[in-house]
Amino acid sequence: MSILESCLFISAGFLFLVLSLQNSNSLQYMINHKDFAREWIHVWNSHDLEAILSHYSEDIEITTPMISMATGGKESSLQGKQAVRDYWRKALEKFPDLHFELIQSTAGVDSVALFYKSIMDKQAVEVMFFNEEGKINKMYAHYD
């Protein structure tokens, strides 16, 4: 292999590496956590279940102490959009005056964390992880 061919090979490899890194991290630059937080709070306060679910992937997994409370400690996680839909439908029926107030949002790598005032005068932090399509595929909730 000539010096020119070697340089071209190394350059092509470097370009591939840069493009791969850009593609693997591209989602973190696409998500504006402040805009997302405002939208997320807005749709929850609208009580429009399908609008709420539009942020989540079909294979969503949520883990929250509220599930544990609702199931008498039998479960703390739900997986799949239909299971989450059923759970949130019941929650919206149980709390017809549900209203969240955003306190702060932060961004991570392919993730956001929202700190907000939740139901029953609790403060909550939800950490949400996004898939390649920009949908939440994993969420962990924390309450005071």
pLDDT value at position 30?
58
In angstroms, the CA 36 to CA 51 distance is: 13
Q: Residues 8-62: pLDDT tens digits? A: 333 334 334 334 444 444 444 457 889 999 999 999 999 999 999 999 999 999 9
pLDDT value at position 82?
97
Residues sharing a CB contact under 8 Å with residue 59, sequence separation 6 or more, in sequence order: 79, 80, 81, 137
Indicate the SS3 state at residue 18: helix
Q: Residues 69-87: pLDDT tens digits? A: 888 878 899 999 999 999 9
Quick check: pTM over 0.75? yes
- Given a contact cutoff of 8 angstroms between Cβ atoms, the answer to whether 115 and 103 are in contact is yes
Among all chains, which residue has been given the structure tokens 């679910």?
53
Angle at 25 between CA 141 and CA 79, to 5 degrees: 35
Phi, psi of 2 (to 5 degrees): -75, 170
- DSSP characters for 30-66? H--HHHHHHHHHHHHHHT-HHHHHTTEEEEEEEE-HH
Phi, psi of 54 (to 5 degrees): -65, -20
